[in-house]
């Protein structure tokens, strides 16, 4: 499980004196714990926890990377390159724990297969296609990139 791998990496980073890695991994564990708590809440905004724990952890990691990329964009615009470099270092630590992502060609093939199975023909079917894509490939797919590919497949 990814959660166990993160815990082991944190211990290794602490023993090795890697302060930046330790701080980032503690942030990761905190975000995962917060997501666990949100999933248990009766009126949870995030919905119930996925059945597969790795799906939950990957969702958290992908969200953290997205937040850091947005921060990097703002730091670069504001000429704060040292802060952008720090965010890039955090992304590198977080990405170690993500499963290998599907290539664009594999993603397109998966979208076409789902589109054919569901009989999707237009933009009105985007939600159904995205839901099925997420159900099948959530841990190995960047859903924000997949969204653009699904739009292109349904529009054309």
Q: What is the pLDDT of residues 103-119, one digit of tens each?
A: 888 888 988 888 888 88
Please report the pLDDT score of residue 156 as a whole number: 66
Q: What Å distances lie between residue 68 and 8, 19, 30, 133, CA to CA? A: 23, 19, 16, 25
The pLDDT value recorded for residue 135 is 84
CA distance to 72, 76, 78, 110, per residue, from 82 (Å)? 10, 9, 11, 39
The pLDDT value recorded for residue 43 is 61
pLDDT of residue 79: 94
Extract the residue ranges of the chain whose pLDDT is less than 70: 42-51, 156
Closest to 134 (Cα-Cα) out of 122, 118, 146, 125: 146
pLDDT at 53: 79
Yes or no: say if 10 and 22 are a contact pair by the CB < 8 Å rule: yes
Distance (Å, rounded) from C-alpha 127 to C-alpha 112? Answer: 15
pLDDT score, position 40: 80
């Amino acid at each position: 499980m990814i959660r166990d791998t993160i815990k082991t990496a944190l211990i290794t980073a602490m023993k090795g004196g890697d302060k930046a890695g330790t701080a980032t991994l503690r942030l990761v564990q905190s975000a995962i714990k917060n997501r666990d708590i949100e999933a248990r809440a009766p009126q949870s905004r995030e919905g119930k926890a996925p059945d597969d724990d790795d799906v939950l952890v990957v969702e958290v990691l992908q969200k953290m990377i997205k937040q850091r990329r947005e921060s990097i964009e703002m730091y670069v615009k504001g000429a704060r390159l040292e802060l952008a470099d720090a965010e890039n270092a955090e992304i590198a630590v977080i990405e170690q724990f993500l499963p290998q992502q599907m290539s664009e060609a594999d993603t397109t093939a998966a979208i076409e297969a789902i589109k054919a199975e569901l009989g999707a023909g237009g933009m009105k079917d985007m939600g159904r296609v995205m839901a099925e894509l997420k159900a099948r490939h959530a841990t190995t797919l960047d859903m924000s990139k997949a969204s653009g590919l699904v739009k292109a497949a349904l529009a054309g």
